[in-house]
Amino acid sequence: MDKKTVFSGIQATSNQHLGNYLGAIKNWVEMQKQYDNYFCVVDLHTVTVPQDPDTLRANIREVAGLLFAAGIDEDNSTVFIQSHVKAHSELAWLLNCITPMGWLHRMTQFKEKSEKAKDEVSVGLFDYPVLQAADILLYDTNLVPVGEDQKQHVELCRDIAQRFNYRYGEVFVLPDAYIPPVGGRVMGLSNPDKKMSKSEEKKDDSIFLLDAPDQIRAKIKKATTDSHREIKFDEKRSGVNNLLTIYQLVTEKTRDQIEDHFAGKSYKDLKEQLAEAVIETLEPLQQRYRELTGEKGYLEAMLNRGAKRAEARAETKLRQVYEKIGLR
């Protein structure tokens, strides 16, 4: 039986954090054997906000390296850089022409991100979800594993696909988002009422995947808790709940086991043990990252192979789209 197709994307920004890892990358690694996978460093999405060229080049490489270091492998997955496969931009244009502006005005991520930049906001940032829809639809994607914040974008992608299919005939597969039952929204350490994020000004809010052990210890030590004592999962106590959730994800223990383990212990114990568990999770990833980025040309060769594989599939779909529209 043919395997179902998985597609997901990650921005080419430095400071990939534990939220990106636990909400997305870790699941990609765990799911990859069951599916036919495409994992894309979405550099064209990254330039929807201003980027320094040299930093961007370095970040594209860093993020691709992190994906392989986390355990994504060429035998099960195609990893590539979005701008290397031109079909993504081409399909985005064609989808732009059938997507109503009103649908994009409803996107909460655009509302949030554009608030800061106001009149300087690019057309690209507004159009971001249409490019994302093109990414997904080019590969007949069935499942899109993402964090909770991307659910609305995947739903919009379905709507665009349905509109196209209705107008021109069945071309696109309708994708479903896959949000992990735990970890879909890892919260900030100092502000546990907001999601952990790399754009956060307060750097102590996030644990970055390449943070050194002492940085991890220091950040977790400072994490916001509360004035209660009991160490229990409780959504109303967002700080402690978040620390416990991260502990659950990195140790893969059950909630009951964790609550039993911490019964009678202090927040200091929780923080110390959490820090060590996070360090243990990230150390092998960091080690592999250093190995594979240290070898000149190794990563680039993998990315070239990935782009070729992705291109072959994407071009077939794009040709169908041109024909349906009447452009061929």
Q: Are 20 and 59 in contact (CB under 8 A)?
A: no
Residue 287 Cβ vs ligand LTN, minimum distance, rounded to whole Å: 26
Instruction: For residue 51, give both structure tokens.
Output: 């980027």
> Taking the CA atoms of the chain, what radius of gyration do you get in angstroms?
21
Site for ligand ATP (CB under 6 A): which residue of 6, 7, 23, 88?
23
When the beta carbons of 42 and 85 are compared against ligand LTN, the nearer one is: 42
Residue 129 Cβ vs ligand LTN, minimum distance, rounded to whole Å: 8
Site for ligand ATP (CB under 6 A): which residue of 149, 204, 226, 311?
149
Site for ligand ATP (CB under 6 A): which residue of 184, 192, 239, 306?
184
Q: In which residue are the tokens 């009422």 written?
A: 193
In degrees and rounded to multiples of 5, residue 17 shows phi and psi of -120, 180
- Given the residues 3, 4, 86, 113, select the one marked as catalytic: 113
Q: Are 104 and 110 in contact (CB under 8 A)?
A: yes
Contacts with ligand LTN, residue ranges (CB under 6 A): 7-9, 11, 42, 45, 132, 135-136, 144, 146, 150, 153
Q: Is 195 a catalytic residue?
A: yes
11 binds ligand ATP per the rule CB under 6 A: yes
Q: Quick one: what does residue 185 bind among ligand ATP, ligand LTN, none, with the CB cut-off 5 to 8 Å set by partner type? A: ligand ATP
Q: How far is CA 14 from CA 7, 57, 66, in A?
A: 21, 11, 11
CA 149, CA 189: separation in Å to the nearest integer?
Answer: 18
Candidate ranges 19-27, 28-36, 230-238, 303-311; the one touching ligand ATP (CB under 6 A): 19-27
**Distance between alpha carbon 134 and the CA centroid of its chain, in Å?**
16
Q: Are 120 and 77 in contact (CB under 8 A)?
A: no
Q: Is 268 a catalytic residue?
A: no
CA 162, CA 225: separation in Å to the nearest integer?
Answer: 45
Show which residues are catalytic. 113, 195, 198
Which residues are at the interface with ligand ATP (CB under 6 A)? Answer: 10-11, 19-20, 23-24, 146-147, 149-150, 184-186, 195-199
